[in-house]
Amino acid sequence: MFELIKKRTKNVKNDVISGITVALALVPEAVAFSFVAGLDPLVGLYAAFMVGLITSVIGGRPGMISGATGALAVVMVSLVKEGNAMGLAMAQPVVSMGVQYLFLTVILMGILQAAAGGLKLGKFIRLVPHPVMLGFVNGLAIVIFLSQLNMFKSVQAGALHWLPRAELMTMAGLVIATMGIMIVLPKITRKIPAALTAILAVTAATLFFNLDVATVGSFIRDGGGEGLKGGLPVLQTQIFTLIPWNMATLKFIFPYAFILAGIGIIESLLTLNLLDEITETRGNSNRECVAQGVANIVTALFGGMGGCAMIGQSIINVNSGGRGRLSGIVAALSLLGFILFGSFYIEQVPIAALTGIMFMVVMGTFAWSSLRIMHKIPKSDALVLICVSILTVTFDLAVAVFIGIIMSALVFSWENALRIRARKRIKRDGTKVYEIWGPLFFGSTQMFVSKFDVKGDPENVEIDFIESRVSDYSGIEAISGIVEKYEKEGKKITLKHLSADCKKLLNRSDAKYRSIILEEIDDPRYYVVADPTSFHGNRV
């Protein structure tokens, strides 16, 4: 699927059509995530509109769609519940005290995200290894798939149960029909958007045959909402009067704001990197951080729940031909239009059609190539990939990515710690030379020290670092330790081909290194020997 996506180019027609298609898919997602967070559907819908519009205009990745997401909603539900409990403890007459805390938290979340972009921290997303990226997309695909299974269930006696057989078969049939249209239509023509065509065709079929199926309207009402009510968002000035502005409030909201900011940045930047790979273009990660921050500040002030990049809707967008900023702008404005003027028609769209589209997103998101290469890549990379996938499903994106990066870093350190080598030879004047290969850092210092025979070495010893790089202060300390050992034995030691920064640190620590470190002017890679029998060497 990604190969087909890459061949598309940016044009106004594709951007407009894909934007409308994405807007239709945004409705149930925003509503569903609002319910997850315990909020009114309009809170999620306004967030999808405002975050999507602002990030499309000033964001760092044209064609990327942002809005209310499940990763953030999972954290928000705890915040809302705890905030409500605090409101009751303070005898506040406001029932939705937790929602007011949420808006204030999202404002702080936006400030943290904008600050991260301003400080150029977005570049650190490059530190995410490829196995972690594959695990992220695989885990996210599984999360999207599992979330769509709830569409095949209904609430009975306060719990979710599978639909009755007849309704389940009808739902499954419509989902399959939607997926079939999206698979077959592009093989016939690419001038007609497959996703939008599938939505219109399945909606028309349900209305024509008068099928009793769940629709966007019934989905909202079953969740406790009243449908897609019209009306513009209202500035949340109440947060300045209902919530006490003191250190206790900041202490309460800051941990939530920090976690939400981290999840939002990670999901947005990983989605940005994925779209970079798909479209063979490059976005600006720092600009995207600032845009996400500004968007969250604004949406919280106007009654939205905040958001970040949405990988599912972003894939739908690029798959439908959306490449420019116009696609995201059209998606946001279309969503607002649906809320204000087209709510009646949008409520007629079957959930099955939107579920079918999301299943196609799952198929396009999952890195199927990772299954084929699993036995070909290093076992450590395969383990990281699997762990990140599982953690994304079990916990959340931030936890999965952080643990994946830590695992990859530990594996890298361990492997490089074993790569340090020392070739030993004796010069004509009897000096023993240790030629060091490999990185010298905290993980390899013990192996480095074990290469030397301090007591058995001759009076003059030379350590050549031409094929080695001292990477950290632990490496500096290891060199100092070896020098001290040889000096205690009364032997002369010299150091060659150290990096400039390493020399500076050693000279700063002790003036004696000015005579121990040799300043080379020749190219030491080509050691000329007049008599080949004058030395012998081995590498250990």
Q: Which residue has the higher pLDDT, 301 or 83?
A: 301
Residues 384 and 453 in one domain: no
Q: Say whether both 376 and 475 belong to one domain.
A: no
Residue 159 placed within a domain: no
- Do 317 and 376 fall within a single domain? yes
- On whether residue 374 sits in a domain, the answer given is yes
Q: Is the pLDDT of residue 522 over 60?
A: no
Give the residue from 345, 380, 409 where a domain finishes.
Answer: 409
Higher pLDDT among residues 409 and 42, named by residue? 409
CA torsion, ordered 129, 363, 387, 29, to nearest 10 deg = 100
Domain range for 316 is: 2-149+166-225+232-409
Please work out, in degrees rounded to the nearest 5, the angle formed at the alpha carbon of residue 118 by the alpha carbons of 112 and 123: 95
The model's pLDDT over 140-150, given as tens digits with 9 standing for 90+, comes to 788 878 878 88
291 lies in the same domain as 242: yes
Note whether 517 and 503 are within 8 A (CB): yes
User: Which of 13-17, 59-63, 391-395, 475-479 has the lowest average pLDDT?
Assistant: 391-395
Radius of gyration of the chain, Cα coordinates, nearest whole angstrom = 30
Mean pLDDT of all residues in 347-354: 86
Single-letter code of the amino acid located at 292: Q
Q: 409, 433, 466 — which closes off a domain?
A: 409
Quick one: tokens of 503?
A: 């020399």
Shared domain for 393 and 487, answered yes or no, is: no
224 pLDDT band (50/70/90 cuts)? low
- Band of the pLDDT at 158, cuts 50, 70, 90? low
Residue 78 lies in a domain: yes
30 and 57 assigned to the same domain: yes
CA 532/CA 529 separation, integer angstroms? 6
Assess whether 237 and 170 both reside in one domain.
Answer: yes
User: Are residues 405 and 439 both part of a single domain?
Assistant: no
pLDDT in tens, 248-281: 888 889 988 988 898 889 889 888 988 888 888 8
Residue 355 neighbours by CB under 8 Å, 6+ apart = 148, 151, 171, 175, 178
Mean pLDDT value across the chain? 82
Average pLDDT over residues 346-365: 83
For residue 228, the model assigns a pLDDT of 57
Is residue 533 predicted with pLDDT exceeding 60? Answer: no
Taking only the tens place, the pLDDT of each residue in 34-53 is 766 667 777 888 889 999 99
pLDDT digits over 180-190, tens only? 998 999 888 87
Mean pLDDT value across residues 331-349 = 84
Express each pLDDT in 85-130 by its tens digit: 776 666 554 446 778 888 899 999 999 999 999 998 887 777 778 8
Task: Give yes or no: residues 425 and 405 share one domain.
Answer: no
The band of 32, judged by pLDDT with boundaries at 50, 70 and 90, is low
- Residue 398 resides in a domain: yes
Residues 134 and 172 in one domain: yes
Query: Is residue 218 in some structural domain?
Result: yes
What is the percentage of the chain residues whose pLDDT exceeds 70?
86
Q: Which long-range contacts (CB under 8 A, 24 or more apart) does 160-167 make?
A: 167/212, 167/213
Local confidence band at 240 (pLDDT 50, 70, 90 cut-offs):
low
Residue 427 and residue 404 share a domain = no
255 SS3 class: helix
Residue 530, domain member (yes or no): yes
Going by pLDDT thresholds of 50, 70 and 90, the confidence category of residue 71 is confident
What are 462-501's pLDDT values in tens digits?
Answer: 999 988 888 888 989 999 999 999 999 999 999 998 888 8
Query: How many separate domains does the chain show?
Result: 2
Token pair listed for 42: 């309009």
Domain boundary among 409, 440, 469: 409
Q: Is 206 part of a structural domain of the chain?
A: yes
227: helix, strand or coil: coil
Those residues whose C-beta lies under 8 Å from the C-beta of residue 60, and which sit 6 or more positions away, are 122, 272, 283, 284, 285, 286, 287, 288, 289, 291
Two tokens, residue 90 = 């303070």
Note the pLDDT tens digit of each residue in 361-386: 788 778 888 888 888 888 889 999 99
Indicate whether 63 and 110 sit together in one domain: yes
Checking if the pLDDT of 322 tops 50, the result is yes
Three-state DSSP at 62 gives coil
CATH of the domain at 495: 3.30.750.24
Phi, psi of 527 (to 5 degrees): -85, 115
Torsion over CA: 345, 346, 351, 356 (sign): positive
Grade residue 525 by pLDDT with cuts at 50, 70 and 90: very low
Residue 416 belongs to a domain? no
